[in-house]
Amino acid sequence: MTARHHRTRYQRYSGGPDPLAPPLDLREALGAIGEDVMAGASPERALREYLRRGDRQMRGLDRLAEAANRRRRKLLEQRNLDGTFEQIRQLLDEAVLEERKQLARDLDDDARFAELQIGNLPASTAQAVRELADYSWRSPTAREKYQEIADLLGREALDQRFAGMKQALEGADEQDRQAVSQMLADLNELLDAHNRGEDTTEQFADFMDKHGQHFPENPENTDELIDSLARRSAAAQQFFNSLTPQQQAELAELSAQAFGSPALMNQIDQLDAALRHARPDLDWDGAQRFSGDQPMGLGEGAAALADLGELEELAEQLSQGYAGAQLEDIDLDALARQLGEEAAADARTLAELDRALREQGLVHRSADGRLELTPKAMRQLGHSILRDIAQQLSPRTGERRADTAGRLGEPTGATREWAYGDTEPWDVTRTVTNAVLRTAAAGGPGSVATMTSHGVRIEMDDVEVSDTEARPQAAVVLLVDTSFSMVMEGRWTPMKRTALALNHLISTRFRSDELHLIEFGRHARDTDVATLTGLEPRMEQGTNLHHALLLAQRHLRRFPNAQPVLLVVTDGEPTAHLDASGEAFFFYPPHPQTIGLTVRELEHLSRMGTQVTFFRLGDDVGLARFIDQIARRIGGRVVAPDADGLGAAVVGDYLRSRTGR
């Protein structure tokens, strides 16, 4: 018995979206969009910029558009439209050379006259071909070469309008040419009826039954047939428009010799007119300037011009710069044809990501039509930022995670995976359940019997501990400087990231604490995390810490039984205060009255038992002197992180204040 060996071949999947691709991970997209929003961009602009930029694994719209433009330039710079002219000139030269050889062997007077006729042909290829139309060739080889010119012109003219016709009619006989002529006549009748508004359903079916082999696109109705033909016809016209005046004149003369008769070009002209009438929206008057050294024939040139038109449309679609632009506008089939399947996959992923951000409730339209980040998006951003800060707080392996730090206290009702250093009690129910599920998944069909006879073995990955939070309650106020210097010195985004992280930590891990946000420039304002995240830079001078402290006191008095905690983030000494009328008074260098009023409110807070920490950004000597003196006076703390370490400094200080409580 002979053994049979089956060989299996593997290749890239090309049947559409990868069915084994992982689901879209929106975290990186949301993080990038959030960073832009915190830097001052609107959510609308941030989303648009992310889609244009892409990420590490996915090309954005700009790179795809750049690839389309690069391919377009390459076509123009490498190719030219001289291919058919060069072929005809070569065939003509070969025919004349063979005829001269034959005439040199013939000794009659007619041969001498023919030599004179051959020797005085016009320099113009088209005129020479026309002048030889009635010439009686003596050399069979020369006659065949000349006939090839007429055959080539006919096949090229058809190939411009019908893809692959040049190859299909190579070596065709008169019967084949008559069949093509009949197809053109029937096609023109069909298009004329369609343009008159008649119902062409039956006529189209009869046409496809007779001539369907010439249309591999397999159109299903007259409109689809017109769509497939009109673009190539428009490209053929663009080919003619792109020629020099001399080439246009030569081509017009040569075309009359197609298949040895002007009948073919008359039918093609009728076809072009009907298609132009049916699809006037196409670019029939356009032209391109090719400058390369790789010649193209008429059909190949028309195909290249069709590609150029398609690339221009793709570039516009990818730019998304027109009114009402949507990612669904991008023609993925055209993108795959021009730039490959990977480009189409990138564009498809961008569209899916845009849709997923909306469908999963991460962005939505406000009542006034503006795109906004939702509370769900804010929570995810806060979680991501807090995770980054936790890595800054615990850079060494084995240290406890910062988001679980704090003394044991009341259970929150939640559980989490055990990590090295945790001292919280095990959640027995969750731990045993994890072990049972893992054993069942690993054991296969006999897993139940295995567990019955051998019991369940608990591994460290199964262990979950009870989540706890420390008590008592704290009323935390975070004051963030939003003066213009924060923008100029690159501290705007770190300030917002800090507020987001602290808000997420308190709202998810320490729910008994109350966080309140106040931003201060020339004036101070109560705010929330969503408003602060989307806050755009203000071109205003002034650091009104005095006003911010007044708002902080008002808030803290609402929680008389809570531990007051004040966290102040600033990069400049106080230069503004509220006067008796409630207006902001600004003066630089700091006015003594501004300093006095600010110190007075800090002392009020100190008498309330407030734990005060200043986070001093930058190297302002005046700010350092003021903060150091007031911290000693009220028993506060001073932390001087760099901008990138601000989040870790604030979160770490808050966690230490909880431990102290």
CATH number for the domain harbouring residue 605? 3.40.50.410
Q: In this predicted structure, what is the pLDDT of residue 397?
A: 35
The answer to whether residues 72 and 86 belong to one domain is no
The answer to whether residues 33 and 105 belong to one domain is no
Q: Can you tell me which residue has the tokens 């600004």?
A: 586
Q: Per residue in 597-630, pLDDT tens?
A: 999 999 999 999 999 999 999 988 999 999 999 9
Range of the domain at 150: 82-289
Specify whether the CB–CB gap between 311 and 287 falls below 8 A. Answer: no
Kindly list the distances between the CA atom of residue 1 and the CA atoms of 4, 5, 6, 595, in Å, as whole numbers in the listed order: 9, 13, 16, 102
Q: What angle do CA 130, 135, 141 make, to 5 degrees?
A: 105
Q: Can you tell me which residue has the tokens 């053994």?
A: 3
Report whether pLDDT(156) > 50: yes
Q: In 315-422, at which residue ranges do the beta strands (DSSP E only) sit?
A: 363-365, 371-373, 410-417
Report whether pLDDT(349) > 70: yes
The answer to whether residues 90 and 228 belong to one domain is yes
Highest average pLDDT, of 249-253, 403-407, 501-505, comes from 501-505
Q: How many domains does the chain have?
A: 3
The answer to whether residues 212 and 91 belong to one domain is yes
The answer to whether residues 88 and 174 belong to one domain is yes
* H or E, element range at 526: strand 524-527
Specify whether the CB–CB gap between 552 and 464 falls below 8 A. Answer: no
Dist. CA 168–CA 152, nearest whole Å:
12
The answer to whether residues 178 and 239 belong to one domain is yes
Using pLDDT thresholds of 50, 70 and 90, give the confidence band for residue 651: very high
Dist. CA 392–CA 645, nearest whole Å:
8
The answer to whether residues 532 and 562 belong to one domain is yes
Candidates 494, 540, 528; CA nearest to 651 is 494
The answer to whether residues 52 and 159 belong to one domain is no
Q: Per residue in 553-565, pLDDT tens?
A: 999 999 998 999 9
Type of residue numbered 88: I
Q: Strand 54-55 to strand 58-59: parallel, antiparallel, or no bridges (unpaired)?
A: antiparallel
> If DSSP codes are grouped into helix, strand and coil, which group holds residue 131?
helix
The answer to whether residues 70 and 218 belong to one domain is no
The answer to whether residues 504 and 640 belong to one domain is yes
The answer to whether residues 226 and 348 belong to one domain is no
* H or E, element range at 464: strand 464-469
The answer to whether residues 127 and 42 belong to one domain is no
Mean pLDDT, rounded, for 276-287: 90
Specify whether the CB–CB gap between 465 and 414 falls below 8 A. Answer: no
450 vs 522, higher pLDDT:
522
